[in-house]
Amino acid sequence: VTQPLRVAGETNVGRVRTTNEDALVVEPGAGLYAVFDGMGGANAGDVASRTAADAVRDVVLRNPQIDPRALLDSAIQAASASIFHAAAAHREHHGMGTTVVAAIVVSPERVVIGHVGDSRAYLLRGGRLQALTRDHTIVEDLVDRGLLPPEEAERHPYKNVLSRNLGSRPDARVDLNDVVLRPGDRLLLCSDGLYGYASAEAIQYLLGSGDDPQHVARDLIDLAMRGGGGDNVSTIVIEVPAPAPTSGEVVRTAGAMQWWGQRARFLAAAKERGLARNPMVRGLPPDEALELVALSLCQAIYHDLEKATGVNVWTFAQNLAGGWFERGGEFGPVRAMVDILGASARIVLDELREREPAVGFLVDVAVSRALVVAELALGGLLAERLRQVDEHLIELHRTLPVADPSGMTAPVSATAVRTDEIPLGDSGERFIDRPTIPFLRPERSVTNPGVSAELLGAIGKVITIARARTAPRQELQKQVLAALETIATDSAGSFGAAVIAARDLYGVRSVDEQGVMPLFDALDHARILVAAGVQQVQLTPVVRTRSMRALSYAHQRLVSACTGLVLEAVAPYGERLGEVQKVTGEMRAQVEKAERRRADLEHKFATIVDPELPWGSRGETEW
Ligand code: CA
């Protein structure tokens, strides 16, 4: 007996438009699913997509006996005719049209896809996303005919102009595609409001998350919203039932259960380590704090273990740290929180391995990987935050009032402001007090072209002032300032100076001893001192701006290089993962051997059973 298909459809107006001109058809009884994206002024797009949806639904539901391929073709033709005639009859609807991507799921083994325009169908198989449709746009047609290189298509001014739609003619040229399905496949039908605002990687990630279609359809909409939500967005997710669990999945589920069984121990360990006292959960009763953070992570790891994804832990880390940063929080508490969670997980894993070496081993690998995923998610957030701070900094220095050497002071712009007087948010914190965080960005020249003697002198003066303001025993800060001067005045302008300086600063410390916080704190503080120093030195406006830029880039490079070293220090975890995978490989081989033996036995059993008997056959497939 086959499980029923799981299907979900969602549509949303988006964050910019006022009306939703997309339409959906979800008819599980007929196996019919479709997305329409209407176009045309004065709500005509809405009329077009709904007219087409009604026509397609009508034709398919009334003619179940017709071959699905021919049926889908004629249903889409009929939709085009309906719109064409409606537009001819109503002046205000003249020129309206719609795209369509429609699927008739004939059986768990076969689907027919028909489409016109740029709404798409995707197939997720074995974790990989493949496009089942090719957009009917002028640009795609040019690429197809070899008249435009594919890399130019993405930024072509006409990339959104359709070469085919429904409604401009009484008939339509429909592309039909027969696809053989496999158990566990997932189909996605969507409008360009999804893929125009979300990367293929992110779509693949969510579609492969193992969550049920209802959640995936909604999460995909959220994804487009986070990408700007500039258009109506529609998604239909269709899941072909998965095969019976493999031995690997059974082992994985056992591991997930083991981990979940230890949640009380995990919470206790996190409590002992002071999770409830972390500033991120200040104001919450300790039990709620533990539940909010530790239990949520425990759950996220459990779901990722069960489904062999990392999406839950990734989302957990992003929500936790993202919310904190949005409230103006600092990096320190986030680092401390992640350390507490990691150390608490370690305690649970060590105990588990002691008691049950085989399962403990598997859980250890999976949980260690989950913690690396959390670190990566955090790194992504930090990178984004630094990029924003950097943009503000450059913007502010573009509009700074500066002393005119001739004595005739004139602001550079009417809205000019002093950086050290700009309050940030409600806290009254000044711009230059705002902390910096590590980030990575592509190579760019520090001082281009070359470094003038004038600029060298200015940088030297700024660093001297900054150094004079460091506290007596802040050796690390002094070293950072010296490093900044070296990098900013490096005539080669390459990344090399930053890497060498970072190695000196970082020393041979490992991530889990004292941690990297003192170093990143010193980097932060040095940036504040330098920003203040640039304001204090007597410089011409041009040299002031140039030295600010040179020092700002030098700082970014130094932070990037330090971050690179931290990531390198985490690398042994990756090696450990490799070792463990080798062992699990051996285990898997044993399981496979056992499975072959079982299959042999089943075969022997099947051959002595009369296939005419009801329990000897496989039964009717319910669809
Ligand atoms: Ca659209």
For residues 119 and 21, give the distance between their C-alpha atoms in angstroms, rounded to a whole number.
13
Distance from the CA of 90 to the center of ligand 1, in angstroms? 23
Distance from the CA of 144 to the center of ligand 1, in angstroms? 23
For residues 585 and 541, give the distance between their C-alpha atoms in angstroms, rounded to a whole number.
64
Distance from the CA of 572 to the center of ligand 1, in angstroms? 46
Best CA proximity match to 446, nearest among 354, 552, 531 = 552
Contact 121, 189 (CB under 8 A): yes
Q: Which residue has the higher pLDDT, 593 or 152?
A: 152
Distance from the CA of 102 to the center of ligand 1, in angstroms? 16
For residues 352 and 359, give the distance between their C-alpha atoms in angstroms, rounded to a whole number.
8
Question: Element (H or E) spanning 122, and its range?
Answer: strand 120-125
Q: Cα torsion at 561, 566, 568, 569 (round to 10°)?
A: 150
Distance from the CA of 118 to the center of ligand 1, in angstroms? 9
Judged against a pLDDT cut of 90, whether residue 103 lies above it is answered with yes
Judged against a pLDDT cut of 80, whether residue 288 lies above it is answered with yes
**pLDDT, mean of residues 110-114:** 97
Judged against a pLDDT cut of 90, whether residue 79 lies above it is answered with yes
- Specify the amino acid at residue 74: S
Q: Check residue 136 and report its DSSP letter.
A: -
How confident is the model over 557-581, as pLDDT tens digits? 888 777 776 666 655 555 555 565 5
Distance from the CA of 217 to the center of ligand 1, in angstroms? 17
Best CA proximity match to 103, nearest among 26, 167, 212 = 26
How buried is 225 (Cβ within 10 angstroms: 0-12 exposed, 13-18 middle, 19+ buried)? middle
Question: Element (H or E) spanning 364, and its range?
Answer: helix 357-398
Q: Check residue 449 and report its DSSP letter.
A: T
Structure tokens at 70: 């021919």
For residues 180 and 185, give the distance between their C-alpha atoms in angstroms, rounded to a whole number.
10
pLDDT of residue 431: 42
Judged against a pLDDT cut of 60, whether residue 510 lies above it is answered with no
Q: Which residue has the higher pLDDT, 121 or 415?
A: 121
Contact 480, 522 (CB under 8 A): yes
For residues 294 and 317, give the distance between their C-alpha atoms in angstroms, rounded to a whole number.
11
Distance from the CA of 301 to the center of ligand 1, in angstroms? 36
What are the φ/ψ torsions at residue 135 (nearest 5 degrees)?
-60, 140
Distance from the CA of 198 to the center of ligand 1, in angstroms? 13
**pLDDT, mean of residues 391-400:** 62
Distance from the CA of 124 to the center of ligand 1, in angstroms? 22
Distance from the CA of 225 to the center of ligand 1, in angstroms? 14
- When mean pLDDT is compared over 305-319, 327-341, 504-518, 602-616, the highest value belongs to 327-341
Distance from the CA of 438 to the center of ligand 1, in angstroms? 37
Contact 577, 584 (CB under 8 A): no
**pLDDT, mean of residues 288-307:** 84
**pLDDT, mean of residues 188-202:** 92
Best CA proximity match to 259, nearest among 372, 345, 342, 357 = 345
Distance from the CA of 48 to the center of ligand 1, in angstroms? 13
pLDDT of residue 612: 43
pTM of the model: 0.47
How buried is 129 (Cβ within 10 angstroms: 0-12 exposed, 13-18 middle, 19+ buried)? middle
Distance from the CA of 148 to the center of ligand 1, in angstroms? 24
Q: Which residue has the higher pLDDT, 613 or 161?
A: 161
**pLDDT, mean of residues 53-80:** 96
Peptide bond into 68 cis (omega under 30): no
Whole-angstrom distance between the N-terminal and C-terminal Cα of the chain? 9
Q: Which residue has the higher pLDDT, 127 or 23?
A: 23
Buried b (16+ CB within 10 A) or exposed e, 245-266: eeeeeebbeebbebbbebbeeb
Q: Which residue has the higher pLDDT, 126 or 29?
A: 29
Contact 515, 444 (CB under 8 A): no
Distance from the CA of 458 to the center of ligand 1, in angstroms? 53
β partners of residue 26: 33
pLDDT of residue 249: 66
Q: Which residue has the higher pLDDT, 305 or 483?
A: 483
Distance from the CA of 130 to the center of ligand 1, in angstroms? 21
Residue whose structure tokens are 């913690």: 371
pLDDT of residue 244: 67
Distance from the CA of 160 to the center of ligand 1, in angstroms? 9
Judged against a pLDDT cut of 60, whether residue 423 lies above it is answered with no
Distance from the CA of 233 to the center of ligand 1, in angstroms? 7
Structure tokens at 423: 């309050």
Q: Which residue has the higher pLDDT, 15 or 380?
A: 15
Distance from the CA of 443 to the center of ligand 1, in angstroms? 36
For residues 80 and 60, give the distance between their C-alpha atoms in angstroms, rounded to a whole number.
15
Q: How many CB atoms lie within 10 A of CB 464?
A: 13
Distance from the CA of 622 to the center of ligand 1, in angstroms? 37
Q: Which pLDDT band holds residue 248 (cuts at 50, 70, 90)?
A: low
Q: How many CB atoms lie within 10 A of CB 499?
A: 18
How confident is the model over 448-463, as pLDDT tens digits? 445 678 888 999 999 9
Distance from the CA of 116 to the center of ligand 1, in angstroms? 13
Quote helix, strand, coil % in the chain, to nearest 5. 60, 10, 30
Contact 81, 170 (CB under 8 A): yes
Distance from the CA of 91 to the center of ligand 1, in angstroms? 23
Q: What average pLDDT is seen over the chain? A: 79
Contacts of 147 (CB under 8 A, 6+ apart): none
For residues 76 and 116, give the distance between their C-alpha atoms in angstroms, rounded to a whole number.
9
Distance from the CA of 237 to the center of ligand 1, in angstroms? 18
Contact 149, 106 (CB under 8 A): no
Q: Where are the alpha helices (DSSP H) in 262-356?
A: 263-272, 286-290, 296-307, 311-326, 331-355
Judged against a pLDDT cut of 80, whether residue 279 lies above it is answered with yes
For residues 498 and 557, give the distance between their C-alpha atoms in angstroms, rounded to a whole number.
6
Q: Which pLDDT band holds residue 41 (cuts at 50, 70, 90)?
A: confident
Distance from the CA of 610 to the center of ligand 1, in angstroms? 58
Distance from the CA of 49 to the center of ligand 1, in angstroms? 11
Distance from the CA of 33 to the center of ligand 1, in angstroms? 18
For residues 579 and 567, give the distance between their C-alpha atoms in angstroms, rounded to a whole number.
19
Distance from the CA of 177 to the center of ligand 1, in angstroms? 22
**pLDDT, mean of residues 181-190:** 94
Distance from the CA of 232 to the center of ligand 1, in angstroms? 6
**pLDDT, mean of residues 126-140:** 91
Sheet architecture: strand order including 110-116: 22-27, 32-39, 97-107, 110-116, 175-180
Contact 446, 488 (CB under 8 A): yes
Residue whose structure tokens are 């709500």: 43
Query: Among 51-65, 376-390, 477-491, which is the least confidently predicted range?
Result: 376-390
Judged against a pLDDT cut of 80, whether residue 520 lies above it is answered with no
pLDDT of residue 393: 65
- For the chain, state the CA radius of gyration: 31
**pLDDT, mean of residues 400-413:** 42
Distance from the CA of 165 to the center of ligand 1, in angstroms? 13
pLDDT of residue 425: 43
